[in-house]
Amino acid sequence: MNTLSDSPIVVISSRVLSPFIQLFALYVIFHGHYSPGGGFQGGAMLAASVLLTRLSVGVDIGELQFRRRWSTRSSAIGVLIYAGIGLVALLMGGRFLDYSLLPLGALAGPELRSMGILLVEVGVGMGVMGTLIGIFDDLMEGEGGA
């Protein structure tokens, strides 16, 4: 199965839309401190942009955008970032996930906790994105597609 759709309208419009969806997803993740949003929502949108390409041109070509073997690694790295930040805080002498003790240079106090929240949200986003793409790829492989 090379392409799911032969219509040039579907292929081109999904190719045009995908990067803008990714840009807005990054905005949702990194602006989660000031507006509704965060890691879960942004990660789901990142996955949606990749899945849009895969649905329109097929997994073989969609793999040029995001390799299939990256998905499980991405979700594992996301969870590791989250748990690792908690462990770093633990090793620095604080409690688990106590962001005010992360070793991040000049930042301290509330600013450091704000940065810790951002790092954790990036981890959540990577985890959600990798998991959603991985589930889609696994289902496609079960269908005999891919």
Measured distance CA(81)–CA(83) in Å, rounded: 6
15 or 113: whose CB is closer to another protein?
113
Q: Which residues bind another protein (CB under 8 A)?
A: 32-36, 38-40, 71-72, 75-76, 78-79, 82-83, 86, 96-97, 99, 109-111, 113-114, 116-117, 120-121, 123-124, 127-128, 130-132, 134-135, 138-139, 141-142
Instruction: Return the biggest CA–CA distance within the chain.
Output: 59
Look up residue 58 and give its two tokens.
């097929």
Sign of CA dihedral 42, 140, 78, 69: negative
52 or 81: whose CB is closer to another protein?
81
Residue 28 buriedness (CB in 10 A; 0-12 / 13-18 / 19+): buried
Shortest distance in whole angstroms from residue 120 CB to another protein: 5
Shortest distance in whole angstroms from residue 49 CB to another protein: 18
17 or 44: whose CB is closer to another protein?
44
Shortest distance in whole angstroms from residue 34 CB to another protein: 5
Shortest distance in whole angstroms from residue 107 CB to another protein: 10
Helix ranges restricted to H, 58-108: 59-62, 68-91
